[in-house]
Amino acid sequence: MRVHAYAAPAAAEPLAPTVVERRAVGPNDVLIEIKYAGICHSDIHTVNGDWGPQPYPLVPGHEIVGVVAEVGPAVTRHRVGDRVGVGCMVNSCGRCANCRAGDEQYCLEGMVPTYAGTDRDGTITQGGYSTHVVVDAGFVLSVPEGLDLAAAAPLLCAGITTYSPLRHWGAGPGKKVAVVGLGGLGHMAVKIAHAMGAEVTVLSQSLKKQEDGLRLGADHYYATGDPDTFERLAGRFDLIVNTVSARIDVDAYLGLLAVDGTLVNVGAPAEPLSLNVFSLISARRSYAGSMIGGIAETQEMLDFCAEHRLGADIELISADRINEAYERVLASDVRYRFVIDTATLG
Ligand SMILES: [Zn+2]
Ligand SMILES: [Zn+2]
């Protein structure tokens, strides 16, 4: 099946309309008519080759929502017409300890990324900036009624990337949670942590987005550009979710944690970070990382967001504005996620 898409023809070249081949629907496959695809900062890093050489042409997009158009004969979880989503992975081995524990993202054989990955049939995966995609039913999520479809797209990456560590480290009533950075990931972290019942603080470079942060559910907002912030908030937080992939002063942030507190990175700077281990042992603190979430947990996140009426704050764009949107993401000029209307791809 040949379908319309937007692809990068080579590293760091502007994306352009193209046509890609989707595999025939196998027994366990779901054909999805894509309605919306979010633009994640990772799309831009991958397209630009920031994370190593990539296969081109490359169709990015791992925040996919749409409607089931066809299912294979063995598929029981999804039916034609269902609202569904696909996130950052489209397959894994299914047999290793991590897969069996529901942590497919940490598959010991390596999960198959939604784009620029090698699928289990040997083909290169192509992502969601496209009208259709064929995905193994086990990696297709249900998008509950009550979620706006376009605003749900970013939940498939930004939503689960922040939900998973918040859940894992027990964000909830009585817990003080800080979110570093108020971008695509950060704005979801604030909404979700607030809905979980935690006391939420945004730590942003400046107070420029303070009004937004409080509207999204934060209880407090501090500028990290103000050195007083680190003194005033010393020893305060149970959990800090760092959504910023730029270099940070790790020791300064660890100093904001209470005893047994955890600083968790969901993004990563290109170069190694250093830290003074005394920042950890002086209060039994942990420095951790977290990558998206498993399939069952992603479904749990979608159900949670539907129950709490949480979607992303989005700017809906037509496909011919993708390159302009990339420029604006790089300039942090988006509140808070671009979503492509895939009806404009054709
Ligand atoms: Zn992403
Ligand atoms: Zn596995």
Residue 339 alpha carbon to ligand 1 centre in Å: 12
**Which pLDDT score is estimated for 246?**
87
Is 255 contained in some domain?
Answer: yes
Is 303 contained in some domain?
Answer: no
Measured from the alpha carbon of residue 99, the closest ligand is 2
Is 296 contained in some domain?
Answer: no
Residues 56 and 166 in one domain: no
Enter the tokens of residue 258.
């209470």
Residue 280 alpha carbon to ligand 1 centre in Å: 29
Measured from the alpha carbon of residue 88, the closest ligand is 1
Residues 8 and 152 in one domain: yes
DSSP 117: S
Residues 227 and 259 in one domain: yes
Give the helix/strand (H/E) hosting 98: helix 97-100
Residues 95 and 190 in one domain: no
Enter the tokens of residue 71.
């299912």
Measured from the alpha carbon of residue 112, the closest ligand is 2
Residues 185 and 126 in one domain: no
Burial letters for 140-150: b for 16+ Cβ neighbours within 10 Å, e otherwise? bbbbeeebebb
For residue 118, the domain's CATH number is 3.90.180.10
Is 294 contained in some domain?
Answer: no
Residues 215 and 327 in one domain: no
Q: ω before 272 within 30° of 0 (cis)?
A: no
Residue 204 alpha carbon to ligand 2 centre in Å: 37
Residues 84 and 115 in one domain: yes
Residues 72 and 37 in one domain: yes
Average pLDDT along the chain, 346 residues, taken 10 residues at a time? 96 94 96 98 93 94 98 97 98 98 98 96 96 98 96 98 98 98 97 98 97 98 96 98 93 98 92 94 98 98 97 98 96 95 93
Distance between start and end Cα atoms, the chain: 15
**Which pLDDT score is estimated for 66?**
98
Give the helix/strand (H/E) hosting 161: helix 158-168
Is 230 contained in some domain?
Answer: yes
Residues 151 and 7 in one domain: yes
Residue 105 alpha carbon to ligand 2 centre in Å: 8
**Which pLDDT score is estimated for 270?**
80
Residue 212 alpha carbon to ligand 2 centre in Å: 40
Measured from the alpha carbon of residue 62, the closest ligand is 1
Question: Which of 61, 20, 89, 236 shows the shortest CA–CA distance to 153?
Answer: 61
Is 90 contained in some domain?
Answer: yes
Q: Any idea what the Cα angle at residue 125 is, between residues 120 and 131, rounded to 5°? A: 130
Residue 172 alpha carbon to ligand 1 centre in Å: 25
Residue 243 alpha carbon to ligand 1 centre in Å: 12
Owning domain of residue 231: 159-289
Helices 295-307 & 158-168, crossing angle to 10 degrees? 100
Instruction: Return residues with CB closer than 5 A to ligand 1 (ion).
Output: 40, 42, 157
Is 324 contained in some domain?
Answer: yes
Burial letters for 296-332: b for 16+ Cβ neighbours within 10 Å, e otherwise? ebbbbbbbbbbeeebbbbbeebebebbeebbebbeee
**Which pLDDT score is estimated for 186?**
97
Residue 308 alpha carbon to ligand 2 centre in Å: 32
Q: Any idea what the Cα angle at residue 172 is, between residues 170 and 178, rounded to 5°? A: 80
- Residue 95 has a CB neighbour count (10 Å cut-off) of 11
The answer to whether the CB of 113 falls within 8 A of the CB of 62 is yes
Residue with tokens 């990068």: 8
Residues 99 and 180 in one domain: no
**Which pLDDT score is estimated for 120?**
85
Residues 338 and 263 in one domain: no
Is 276 contained in some domain?
Answer: yes
Measured from the alpha carbon of residue 158, the closest ligand is 1
Residues 224 and 177 in one domain: yes
Q: What's the number of domains the chain is made of?
A: 2
Question: Which of 46, 25, 204 shows the shortest CA–CA distance to 117?
Answer: 46
Residue 322 alpha carbon to ligand 1 centre in Å: 16
For residue 220, the domain's CATH number is 3.40.50.720
